[in-house]
Structures are given as C-alpha cells and as structure tokens.
Amino acid sequence: MDKKATLKLPDGGNIDFPVLSGSVGPDVVDIRALYGKTGVFTYDPGFLSTASCASTITYIDGDQGVLLYRGYPIEQLAVHCDFLEVCYLLLKGELPNQKQKDEFVSMVTNHTMVHDQINRFFTGFRRDAHPMAVLVGVVGALSAFYHDSLDISDQRHREVAAFRLIAKLPTLVAMAYKYNMGQPFVYPRNELSYTANFMRMMFAVPAEDYRTNEVLVRALDRIFILHADHEQNASTSTVRLSGSSGANPFACIAAGIACLWGPAHGGANEAALQMLDHIGDVSKIGEFIKQVKDKNSGVKLMGFGHRVYKNYDPRAKLMRETCYEVLEELGLNNDRLFKLAMALEKIALEDDYFVSRKLYPNVDFYSGIVQRALGIPVSMFTCIFALARTVGWIAQWNEMIVDPDQKIGRPRQLYKGATRRDVLPIDKR
Ligand code: SDX
C-alpha cells in the first residue's frame, strides 16, 4: 500500500501527499503539488529538511558516519582503488574491469594538455591572486575554447566535456600554483599516472629531474578519492542549479568552484590550518576552546562539525591515517601541527559543548596538515579539493540532465518586505 502524509490546513481541511522511499535512508514527502493545491509554500532556509532530487550516486548516513560511492564504502575504495577507478565508478555506476580501466585512463591521459592560449589567461592575474580566483576564471573560460562539447542534450558532448574537465583540472591547478610561484608551467607527461603527473606539474623545475615518491603519490591519490563526491552539498547543489538552466558544463563547474571557496565549505581546510597556526601551542588550546564557546566571539573550530555527519566523518579517520603515513615517510612524525591537531581533537571530543552538539572532525580537519607536509601551500588547499570534486560535480550534473523529473531550479520565498506603495516625487520624499 502506498504510504502517504496528511497535512492539516489552517482552514481545517486535510490534504494527503505521497511518501516516497529510497533504497536506503529517510523517506521523503512528495510536496510538489503543495502550492498548486493549497497556495502555501514550505519554508526551509539552508535546506535542512529538503531533498532537492533523487540520486543514485552517493549515500551518507550522518548518524552512523557512513559514506558510500555507488554503494561501495569509502573505507574500501580508499584502500583497494585509485582515483581514476573511483572516477569511473562515480560516472558510470560500476567499478571498471582492467580493460575498461585502461581505456578510461587512456582517454583522461590524452586530454591533460590545455589549449596553449589559455596560458595567456594567467598573465592577466596578479602573481599574488588567490589560486581559487584564478581557477574560477580559467575553468569558466574553457567554454570559449571547446565549442565541440557544449550541447548538453548530446551524451557524446557531455562525455567529452567530462573527460576534458577531469583531465585538465590538475593541469590548470598546477599552472595556478606555478604562476603564483613565478616558476615556468610544467607540461603533463603521458607516461605518468594521474596523480604522479599532477605532483610533477606542481613541483618539477627545469633546473633538475623530478622524481616521484610513490608513498606521497598514493597519499594524494587517496585525498582525491576522499573528496570526490558528497551527495547534495552546497557546491554540488550549485552545479545542479546552474545546469538546470542549460548552462554549459564548464560554466557549471566554475560555479561549483566559486561556491566551494567559502570557509564554511571547501575553504575550511585552509581555515583549519590557519586556526592551528594561530593556536600555535598545546598550552593555548584551552583559551581557544573558551573563545569558540563564546557565541559573541564568532570563532568556530574549523574542520569540526557537519550538516549531515553527527558522528565522526569517515573521511576524517582515513585522512588522519594518511596524515600519519605521510609524516612517517617524510620523517616528520613529530610535526608540531599534527600533534597540536590531535591534542585539539582529543580535548574537543571530551568537551560537552562539542559532544552535545555532535561536532566531530570532518574531512577538512586533517587534510590541511597532510597537504602542507606534501609541500602544497595553504592557499592551494581548496584548489586541490576542487580538482578532486570535479568528477562528483560532473556525475551529479549528468544525473540531473537525464532526470525526467528535473526542471529549472527556481525556489520561492516568504516575502517580508514592503507591500504595494506609490512613488512620490522627489520633492515630496
Ligand atoms: C565540507 O555538506 C557537505 O557535505 C560538505 C563537505 C563535502 O564534502 O562537500 O563535507 C565539505 O564543507 C565540510 C565542512 C567544512 N566546514 C567547516 O569545518 C567549518 C566549521 N564548521 C561549521 O561552520 C559548521 O559545522 C558547518 C557549516 C559545517 C555545518 O553547519 P550547520 O549544519 O548549519 O550547523 P549549525 O551552524 O547550525 O551548528 C549547530 C550548532 C550551533 O550552535 P548552537 O546554535 O546550537 O548553540 O553547533 C555550533 C553552532 O554554533 N557549531 C560549531 C561549529 N559548527 C557548528 N561551533 C563551533 N565550531 C564549529 N565548527
């Protein structure tokens, strides 16, 4: 028997709505007919209780600290797969066999170069421009170069755009870093793996040969896996909303990058490291925690808390392990910030302010420490996040395009402004 929910209206009438069930997770009340039948809207700023779409890509159980990509636990994917296998999974719904993987890797590898005129975009920026400002601009401009993959109704166009974006983001992120450093751009090398290629484009200099460290490459590849998708977060919702108007894929991904930049979202890893630098020493943790608890201070424990996870973010656990491995490999296991972060985490998780609000470390708490140890500067952290999240944005964008239920996103409002009034001549105002 179909489930339903009954709404009791202010005028005493009742109205039923269908209740829909997914394969797992909360049911939803289908209220699409609400305004047409009752003349009232729902009110849900920040979408705390709103499902914006149906999706088959990523599932999060915030209470249990569960994260599944196409049904596979993130803990297993992070250990048994590499990032391009996870890209294939997110885009196509299944893990690739060896032949499928080889073909996919070859397609990505052969799209890693960017049009050489894109180099000129960088010279228009100040050297000290924030790399995210550069990335938003350059990714948005890609639609000016690739006219043969802009027809979003054409699956082949969508597929080519997906390969281009996944393949070129590492090249563009590395270019943003090199430009900021005043060093020459490093072209991709097709004999290298995706992540080894990125590290070489970031850190190689013409003055000497660059040797990849496979432990560090594996660590960064895992960081990409952990950041690849996360259901309907703010930047993914931005990409879906942009795509619902028919905007081209490059413009949609640029919109996602812009949204990710915020410190409450993808900018939190940069903010978390700056927070640790600010605290400076374990002896200062108590004073800082006191500030966080003081609502008037506006100070938050960056890298803590999450809209969905009300338990430990499974990505944070994996990130902490990766952090330990990298610091061990680099002989930095006495790293001051790592020890400070672990002490801060321990104190916070024993403090009722955080426990009562179910505030746990999220993916951003340790990622900054790992990236800093890998030689990636703080200002580049959110670019790394954007690089990894591009595949998730594309997978969600693709799903939205082919969803028969999808329409242009156009929320309504609770209007609390002035009611109708007449304009007076300026000498009467
Ligand atoms: C990401 O959505 C995603 O999936 C995002 C992401 C992804 O992969 O796409 O997971 C990536 O964005 C991770 C989150 C990174 N952001 C941060 O680490 C910034 C610090 N965190 C907070 O800004 C906050 O926790 C949010 C924004 C992440 C979530 O905010 P919510 O869900 O709106 O929760 P809230 O602000 O209503 O907080 C509930 C309570 C409040 O206190 P009370 O009003 O009940 O007294 O908890 C407090 C908040 O003040 N609180 C914090 C806190 N986070 C929430 N207090 C101190 N430090 C914090 N970090």
pTM: 0.93
At residue 250, the pLDDT reads 95
H-state helical runs in 12-82 = 34-38, 74-80
Q: Using only C-alpha atoms, what is the Rg of the chain?
A: 23
Half-sphere exposure of 188 (CA within 13 A, CB side): 26
* Cβ < 6 A, ligand 1 pocket: 230, 233, 264-265, 268, 292, 300-308, 357, 359, 362-364
Distance of alpha carbon 282 from alpha carbon 276, whole angstroms: 10
- Distance (Å) from CA 25 to ligand 1 centroid: 21
Half-sphere exposure of 66 (CA within 13 A, CB side): 13
Which helix (H) or strand (E) element contains residue 15? strand 14-20
Which of 47, 362, 382 to mutate for ligand 1's pocket (most ligand atoms within 8 Å of CB)?
Answer: 362
Predicted confidence (pLDDT) per residue in 4-62, tens digit: 999 998 888 899 999 999 999 999 999 999 999 999 999 999 999 999 999 999 999 99
CB atoms within 10 A of CB 83: 26
- Distance (Å) from CA 169 to ligand 1 centroid: 28
Each residue of 110-125: b (16+ CB within 10 Å) or e? ebbebeeebeebbeeb
Distances (CA, A) of 394 to 13, 74, 107, 153, 253: 44, 19, 16, 14, 8
Predicted confidence (pLDDT) per residue in 385-394, tens digit: 999 999 999 9
At residue 150, the pLDDT reads 77
Each residue of 17-50: b (16+ CB within 10 Å) or e? beeeeeeeeeebbebeebeeeeeeeeeeeeeeee
pLDDT along the chain (429 residues), means of 10: 90 92 97 93 96 97 94 97 98 98 97 94 94 96 84 89 96 97 97 98 97 94 97 98 95 97 90 92 93 93 90 89 90 86 89 91 88 92 97 97 92 97 97
- Distance (Å) from CA 265 to ligand 1 centroid: 9
At residue 420, the pLDDT reads 97
At residue 148, the pLDDT reads 77
Distance of alpha carbon 263 from alpha carbon 382, whole angstroms: 10
Helix axes 285-293, 268-279, angle to 10 degrees: 130
Residues 6+ away with beta carbon under 8 Å from 160: 146, 148, 149
Q: Which residues are catalytically annotated?
A: 306, 364
